[in-house]
Amino acid sequence: MRARRIRQIIQVVALMVLVAPAMAAIPPPDGPVLLKITGNIRHTNVNDELWLDREMLSELPWHETTTDTPWHRQMGRFEGPLLRSVLELAGVDSDVVEVHALNDFFADLPVSDTEDYDVILAMKRNGREMSIREFGPLFVLYPFDEHPELKTEAIQFRSVWQVNLIKVP
């Protein structure tokens, strides 16, 4: 009986050692905040929000897509973290998120879009960081050329640029 109890305690301690790093808190950003995620999220770092700077976003899995957009004269190579990775980092458990721009424009984006397609939060175009004037610093970008079915008005509406906030209902 005692040996069984000791084994149980060892198993619990081993589990805690394995799980603890995954439960580690996300530190607050060191640099200027590019993105705030608010609302119904499980992981926060400033009060009840998740604030991310360029370095934190750069540490997430990145994806690259070369595509034509309705807003650029030439095809471009866009790079940035997968939006689904950003939502996972925040612990989003919702069917939809509101993506907000610096000018207060916002669009509802179904989370299923990020699961069905490699939607990125573009931070670079043709190897250069995107400025506010160039749709940055963050731009929700769908892989238009890889999936022609995305070339619709509804998807274009969801392709928010100058993103600074994601609200989760």
Domain at 110, CATH number = 3.90.420.10
Question: Is 21 domain-assigned?
Answer: no
Q: Does residue 130 sit in helix, strand or coil?
A: coil
Q: Is residue 159 part of a domain?
A: yes
DSSP structural state of residue 143: -
Boundaries of domain holding 109: 30-168
How many structural domains comprise the chain? 1
Assess if residue 14 is contained within a domain. no
Separation between Cα atoms, residue 123 and residue 58, nearest integer Å: 9
Strand 33-39, strand 163-168: pairing:
parallel
pTM to 2 decimal places: 0.84
In order along its 169 residues, the chain shows pLDDT tens digits of 555 444 444 443 443 443 344 445 899 999 999 999 999 999 999 999 999 999 999 999 999 999 989 899 899 999 999 999 999 999 999 999 999 999 999 999 999 999 999 999 999 999 999 999 999 999 999 999 999 999 999 999 999 999 999 999 9
Establish if 10 belongs to a structural domain.
no
Please report whether residue 19 resides in a domain. no
- Residues 98-123 as b or e (16 or more Cβ within 10 Å = b): bbbbeeeebbebebebbeebbbbbbb
Quick check: is 157 in a domain? Answer: yes
In a domain, 54, yes or no: yes
Is residue 104 in some structural domain? yes
